[in-house]
Chains A and B, each alone.
Chain A
Amino acid sequence: MNIRGVWALYSFEMQRTWRTLWQSVVTPVITTVLYFVVFGSAIGSRMEDIGGVDYGAFIVPGLMMLSLLTQSISNASFGIYFPKFSGTVYEMLSAPMSPIELVLGYVGAAATKSILLGLIILATANLFVDVRIEYPLVMILFLVLTALTFSLFGFIIGIWADGFEQLSFIPMLVVTPLTFLGGAFYSINMLPDPWRSISLFNPVVYLVSGFRWSFYGEGDVSIGLSLGITAAFLIACLAVVIWIFRTGYRLKE
């Protein structure tokens, strides 16, 4: 195992984060504040509690998930796409690094970054509403699992993409709508029936629900199902990544 190589790659990627600290931290903080001004104060004050939870607090897990998903995907996809675009990927390919080690470096850094972001959003939210976390360990587990899964997903997009537009295509056209429709700002139990059943096909529902369960002990679906679906998605992404390295798909001629 080339631990030094993994560490070099990981810290090099994290370096990029520190360099763009401004965008990395300020943007989500401002976004979170805006959400709270609009949903928490303006609308939330006229909303009833959902399942005994104040509306402002209710949206915190969904808000975190929304950032976690989009940030994981964009960090990881950019992280691998950029070397491909600039040509510096030659160095990764010619280094004594196994596929697993490359993934650990890239995906590890992208996941770390979005976990940090999630925590920053949580801290910001805490300024506006009282957030209580019933099951902190499950919360951390979900945070890490989601960040890893979607960083892997982003890694796949970054390898597949052959233009910058495609990098933002999936997050914008697929992930953001799925998150909004996935109960980030409401409980899908509030939906009338065909919509509630249709929502159950949206994988993000399970993420948001499980994550919310770790905060307030209550979710739209059972916590076991949430964990199961998240794990299944993680395994699927892993399988694709392994296939990519086996075949050299879009990495090597």
Chain B
Amino acid sequence: MQPIISISNLSKTYDGGVRALNSVSLDIEQGEIFALLGPNGAGKTTLISAVCGIVTPTSGTVLAGGHDIIRGYKKARAMIGLVPQEISTDAFETVWATVNFSRGLFGKAGDRAYIEQLLRDLALWDKKDAKIMELSGGMKRRVMIAKALSHEPEILFLDEPTAGVDVELRRSMWNLVRGLRERGVTIILTTHYIEEAEEMADRVGVIRGGEIIVVEETEAIMRKLGKRQLTLTLTEAMETVPDALAEWHLELADEGHRLVYSFDANDESTGIPSLLRRMGDLGIGFADLDTSKSSLEDIFVGLVNAQQEPAA
């Protein structure tokens, strides 16, 4: 299937000379949830802003639903809803007025029933006549989401939708996003909460210094780059790792009570059976064993650091 968003060789150099995007190419598939991860200043917002028409790209092309975002900007933009990183709303307007205004701006005829349902879904219905300045920060963010969804976009950009949002609201946002995906909306979100990407995204892309360094299915990236650890709780503490076990590069933890073995989940042979056999030969007993895998966060930090070194 044709990707719903196709970005090719997109670059952006700001007036001040900052090269925020460096020849980024990326395809977003219809109906997926795509998480864009990257440290502060990596270019996430710039990438989203360029696609949405807020920043003019220096070079490169972007197609949204097959429409060029410059030449066919009306058709492209009509498909897209944007929740920017910064909350900015018309403080003196009511929730109802501002959400309906957004719908009109995108050329859609009024639809009270749809807007009502939208506000109900976002738990804003009882605030519909409140002025936006009277709302809490979390509510304002939901108003921004309501505005972005007011014109029934097929593509939704969420730039850090859960920054500064409490746990409960975060969960409800995740549910909302999943609900949207079920209705066929394609969602691109940026986040600093890796668990969010891990939990929700079908694919993740990591951007650093204006370049996309990895794009992978969330599961695959975790399988591929994830490290696993085997922890053995020993029956008797030991002071040093015996030389006979040197080839496994073991580490001692918990004052010698635990032996930790790190291995790559993808290796054909993990080395575990031979390790256990050797320990048996040496008469080292263990009471318990446990394996764990690294989180996307560990992977992410590893990736960003690994890329930093050659650049330095």
- Residues of chain A at the chain B interface (Cβ within 8 Å): 2-5, 7-9, 12, 15-16, 19, 86-88, 90-98, 248, 252-253
Contacts and interface: CB of A to CB of B under 8 A. Distances in A.
B113 interface: no
B214 to A, nearest CB: 27
Contacts, number: 75
Interface in B3-29: 14-15
Contacts of A93: 52-54
B106 interface: yes
B84 A90 contact: yes
Contact of B106 (A15, A16, A95, A98): A95
A87 B86 contact: yes
A15 B98 CA distance: 11
A133 to B, nearest CB: 37
Contact of A252 (B55, B80, B93): B55
18 contacts: A3-B107, A4-B104, A4-B109, A5-B105, A5-B106, A8-B100, A8-B104, A15-B93, A86-B88, A87-B86, A90-B82, A90-B88, A94-B77, A96-B74, A96-B77, A252-B56, A253-B15, A253-B54
Interface string B73-90: 111011010101010111
B74 A9 contact: no
B77 A88 contact: no
Contacts of B203: none
A95 B86 contact: no
Contact of B105 (A92, A98, A248): A92
Given A2-B74, A19-B92, A252-B55, A91 B104 contact: no
B104 A86 contact: no
Contacts of A3: 107
A4 B92 contact: no
A94 B82 contact: yes
A81 to B, nearest CB: 14
A165 to B, nearest CB: 21
Contacts of A96: 73-75, 77-78, 106-107
A81 B224 CA distance: 50
Nearest to B20: A253
Contacts of B107: 2-5, 96
Contacts of A91: 102, 105, 147
B91 A86 contact: yes
Contacts of A87: 84, 86, 88
What are the 8 tightest A-B residue pairs by CB atom distance, in nearest-first order?
A8-B104, A87-B88, A96-B74, A96-B77, A94-B52, A95-B105, A2-B107, A96-B78
A248 B104 CA distance: 23
A86 B103 CA distance: 20
Contacts of B93: 15
Contacts of A248: 56
Query: Which among B49, B90, B97 has the highest number of chain A CB atoms within 10 Å?
Result: B90
B120 interface: no
A98 B74 CA distance: 8
A165 B108 CA distance: 37
A8 B14 CA distance: 32
Contacts of B77: 94-96
B300 to A, nearest CB: 28
Contacts of A15: 93, 97
Contacts of A2: 74, 107
B96 to A, nearest CB: 12
A141 B186 CA distance: 50
Contacts of B147: 91
A94 B109 CA distance: 18
A98 to B, nearest CB: 7
A155 B76 CA distance: 27
B101 interface: yes
A196 B90 CA distance: 48
Query: Which among A97, A252, A253 has the highest number of chain B CB atoms within 10 Å?
Result: A253
Contacts of A5: 104-107
B161 to A, nearest CB: 15
A8 B100 CA distance: 9
B52 A253 contact: no
B15 A97 contact: no
A8 B147 CA distance: 14
Contacts of B14: 253
A86 B130 CA distance: 19
Given A94-B52, A95-B106, A96-B78, 5 more contacts: A3-B107, A5-B106, A86-B88, A94-B53, A253-B54
B38 to A, nearest CB: 19
B92 A94 contact: no
Contacts of A4: 104, 107-109
B88 A88 contact: yes
A15 B54 CA distance: 26
A95 B88 CA distance: 16
A134 B14 CA distance: 57
A87 B75 CA distance: 24
